[in-house]
Structure 1
Amino acid sequence: MVATHGFQRARKPEQIEARRCAILDTARALLGSRSVADISLRELSETVGLAKSNVLRYFDSREAIFLEVLDENWVAWLDGLEASVIPTEDSSPFAAEIHLASTIAESLVPQRLLCELLSVMGSVLEKNISEDFARDFKKRAAVNTTRLASLVHSQLPDLADEDAAHFAKATLVIVAGMWPYAEPAKSMAVVLGEMHAPPAAEMFATGLREGLVNQLVGLSARAATRTS
């Protein structure tokens, strides 16, 4: 549990920024062992040592706090991905697409928090925020999505910009759709074991890779038919 702080009311810009950082630090710490659904604004406020009304001076809502955490994790993932992508030397058909999609999938698998927050971004986190915050967050989300599309296009220059953009958006949809099944409840894990199903984490990793590979290969194949 994060230690509480005996805060005085923040008035100076640096005090306000310190308060925001403390709230985000607390959210990150709670998310390290709990799901978004299990963390209330009341618990977050009490843990950071503020009344709920004071937390809402710095963020629109509980959801806005988690969207900030999502954005920073999203950016950090992209930074690492851009630094780690190495083109394949395999020149067989669609080898580059398979290699790139697999690399992206493998980079996402260990990003538990990013995957969880993406999985509830549209259904939960974007439901209780102001228009101003929504506008700002959507601009940042668009920048992040464009970064992934640009990375894909840099590795596959024959892929049209709109196809790279489609793949970047599809990546988010696939992660969001699959992640809820990656960490099943204890009872469901028991049933899956009785059915001799692979571990949920393994199914997530395999399904994510296959989903991204199929998307990227399919887009490249369709692009080839347009130019033939």
Structure 2
Amino acid sequence: METSQQGFRRARSPERKQQRADGLLDAARQLAHAGGVRTVTLTEIANTAGVHVSAVRRYFESREEIFLRLAEEGWQEWAQALRLRLDTEASVTPFGLAAVLADSLSERPLFCDLLAHAPLSLERGVSADVVRAFKLSALAAARDIAGSITSAFPDLGPGAARDLVTTSMALAQSLWQIAHPPPTLAALYEEDDRLAHAGTEFGPALTRLLHACVLGLTAAQTGVSPTAVAHVPPG
């Protein structure tokens, strides 16, 4: 490696370059876990990884590409975790399916945070090639998740399972932001009882809403009333 005037060592071999790229991803992951994706700057990522900020673009186009890479990892990990979880379930009820989906997302706070930022800002700060690669990877993971859902709960066909994945993603990205407000809003919710409803609990709220979604999709698919579909009541 070569050392710059600022004291940062430039990676030369493919192995060292990959290590440096992995280090930047790890730094972004660490910082986002601590303070949320919105607060993390490219300079902070570079400093945490021990890379001069001007050298980051040897590995990634931008801060946005770094976080899209982490979002891609999140999609793949979510798909794998759901497949393993649903494969071990002997009999899946509508509420059980909703709980599995909600629990798997609750266990992935960074992924939930990234789900909100990806369409709003991350995808808009990268080249067409980068966003294409991300979207193709995310779509493949979503198809895998829909397949796992259909295998575990045959009352939902492929189309309904895809709708459930889309709903899970949309609810998770919005509810996560609501349930994890910045300090100013958190203090406001604490002080004003009229706003207490805004401080929703992520996991329980997501489970309730996904349960309703599974009941509705199943009723539409089978022609059976949602009440009859609900084999196991929530709670």
> Of 106, 109, 125, which residue of structure 2 is paired with 1:109?
106
> Of 145, 154, 157, which residue of structure 2 is paired with 1:157?
154
Provide the aligned length of Structure 1 versus Structure 2.
216
1:118-150 residue CA offsets vs partner (Å, 9 max, x unmatched): 121110211101111111111110111112111
Q: CA deviation at 1:81?
A: 2.5
Q: CA deviation at 1:163?
A: 1.1
Q: CA deviation at 1:182?
A: 1.1
Q: CA deviation at 1:88?
A: 5.8
Structure 2 Cα separation of the partners of residues 71 and 101 of structure 1? 23
Q: How does 1:72-87 map to 2 (within 5 A)?
A: 72-85=73-86, 86-87=88-89
Structure 2 Cα separation of the partners of residues 205 and 148 of structure 1? 19
Provide closer, same or farther for how the CA distance between residues 48 and 190 of structure 1 changes in structure 2, counting only shifts above 3 A. Answer: closer
Structure 2 Cα separation of the partners of residues 38 and 158 of structure 1? 42
Give the match for residue 33 of structure 1: 34
1:69-126 residue CA offsets vs partner (Å, 9 max, x unmatched): 122233223322322234365xxxxx71221111111221232111111121110211
Give the match for residue 137 of structure 1: 134
Counterpart of 2:24, as a letter, is: I
Q: CA deviation at 1:199?
A: 8.8
> Of 214, 220, 225, which residue of structure 1 is paired with 2:223?
225
Give the match for residue 64 of structure 1: 65
What secondary structure sits across from 1:56 in the alignment?
helix
Q: Is the 8 A contact 2:79 2:142 kept in 1?
A: no
What secondary structure sits across from 2:100 in the alignment?
helix
Structure 2 Cα separation of the partners of residues 45 and 189 of structure 1? 30
Q: Is the 8 A contact 1:6 1:49 kept in 2?
A: no
Q: Is the 8 A contact 1:97 1:216 kept in 2?
A: yes
Unaligned runs of 5+ in 2: 1-5, 225-235
Q: CA deviation at 1:221?
A: 0.4
1:6-41 residue CA offsets vs partner (Å, 9 max, x unmatched): 653323221221111111121122122121121111
Counterpart of 1:141, as a letter, is: A
Q: Is the 8 A contact 1:59 1:65 kept in 2?
A: yes
The answer to whether residue 185 in structure 2 is matched with residue 188 in structure 1 is yes
What secondary structure sits across from 2:161 in the alignment?
helix
Counterpart of 1:159, as a letter, is: L
What secondary structure sits across from 2:223 in the alignment?
helix
Q: Structure 1 vs Structure 2: percent identity of aligned residues?
A: 31
